[in-house]
Amino acid sequence: MRKRIHEIIEKANDGDRASRIYDYFIIITIMTSIIPLCFTRQTAVLYTIDKATAIIFIIDYILRLITANYSAGKKGFMTFLLYPLRPMAIIDLLSILPSVTNMNYAFKVFRVLRLLKALRVFKFFRYSKNIRIISNVLIKKKDALLTVGVLALSYIFVTALIIFQIEPATFDNFFQAVYWATVSLTTVGYGDIYPTSAVGQVISMISSFLGIAIVALPSGIIISGYQDEVEKPEDE
């Protein structure tokens, strides 16, 4: 019975009608659970929607927990203990927590927990083929993306350090220089902080040009990996 439950709640083959119905049902539930987040004043209807969808998510979480050994492909009691530490299981739990606790209603300081309900959107990751493809791309290209990330952070730090030394009167602290370097790297240019000397403006132009190249690198890596994933044979 647990194996059949696993086949239904997880993405099974296209011929499994029960699995497709369950996926559609969960997707509709996720979309419905977001409705109360669109209103500042909670009515009885919105309260009922919130609690009903939370109950469904709790049942879904329990079903995935009791079939954790099948999804992990391993036997043993440790698979059940380690399931709550999986990324999607954490998202599931955090999206349920604000609906089942009264702390966020009793104390204003705990109302920030309501923001966790927005994590329900990420539950779509489990049911979208395209999102799974992108996830595979990020996993396979993680080394290249990590290299680009280190390059970007290094460039931001060096540029901020240079501009902070050239124009100490413009930037009150080093964090403002880092903020300016980040904005220049991404070529956003808010204009709230900017160099005033000729040397600083030259550095700003160089930073913008190099920023175009650095920002374009991750896009090229992801697009290349995505194309490779899409062109894979169906059996693979």
Amino acid at 139: I
Q: In the predicted model, what is the mean pLDDT of the chain?
A: 79
| Predicted local confidence at residue 222, as pLDDT | 83
State yes or no: pLDDT of 175 exceeds 80: yes
In our burial notation (b when 16+ CB lie closer than 10 A, e otherwise), range 202-221 reads ebbeebbebbeebeebeeeb
Domain 2-127 has CATH 1.20.120: yes
Q: What is the structure's pLDDT at 66?
A: 86
Which pLDDT score is estimated for 111?
46
Helices 44-66 + 17-34 axis angle, to 10? 140
As a whole number of angstroms, the distance between CA 80 and CA 57 comes to 18
Confirm if 219 and 186 have CB atoms less than 8 A apart.
no
Model confidence at 58: pLDDT above 50: yes
Does residue 187 carry a pLDDT above 80? no
The residue ranges of every structural domain in the chain are 2-127, 140-230
The top-level CATH class assigned to 140-230 is mainly alpha
Once rounded to an integer, what is the mean pLDDT over residues 218-234? 78
Sorting pLDDT into bands at 50, 70 and 90, what band is 20?
confident
Task: Read off the pLDDT of residues 73-103 as tens digits, 9 standing for 90 and up.
Answer: 777 778 888 888 887 788 788 878 777 766 5
For the residues of the chain, what is the DSSP string, one character each? Answer: -HHHHHHHHS---TT-HHHHHHHHHHHHHHHHHHGGGG-SS--HHHHHHHHHHHHHHHHHHHHHHHTHHHHHT--STHHHHHGGGSHHHHHHHHHHHHHH-SHHHH-GGGGGGGGGGGGGGGGGGGG-HHHHHHHHHHHHTHHHHHHHHHHHHHHHHHHHHHHHHH-TTT-SSHHHHHHHHHHHHTT---SSS---SHHHHHHHHHHHHHHHHHHHHHHHHHHHHHHHHHTS-S--
Q: What is the pLDDT of residue 113?
A: 52
Lowest mean pLDDT among 22-26, 33-37, 43-47, 104-108: 104-108
